[in-house]
Amino acid sequence: KPPPQVDVAISYSSLEHDGLGRYGDRLHPFGDVAAMAHLQTLLKPGGLLYLGVPVGADLLVFNLHRVYGPQRLPKLIQGWTLV
């Protein structure tokens, strides 16, 4: 059974940690991108995601977090419409 869908989702200071293993999750180099794809399945068509991630020069501080820059940010938001 598919999960219920919502009109709005909020992710603040979360996705940059996904897939790095710090909080017991398995190592997954694109865990953040996979989490964003999963969020799309949870939103109703036309739903909104309020997203907060660190932005700056691309950086990975293993196993703490990612900073999204010109290389990684487009991968994270691919398939999303910015409003």
Q: Smallest Cα–Cα separation from 5: which of 51, 45, 50?
A: 45
Q: Is the whole-model pTM more than 0.95?
A: no
Name residue, tokens 């991630």. Answer: 53
pLDDT at 22: 95
Per-residue pLDDT of the chain (83 residues; tens, 9 = 90+): 878 999 999 999 999 999 999 999 999 999 999 999 999 999 999 999 999 999 999 999 999 999 999 999 999 999 999 99
Establish how many alpha carbons lie within 13 A of residue 6's alpha carbon, considering only the half-sphere containing its beta carbon: 11
pLDDT in tens, 45-68: 999 999 999 999 999 999 999 999
Can you list the alpha helix ranges (DSSP code H) found in the chain? 31-42, 73-77
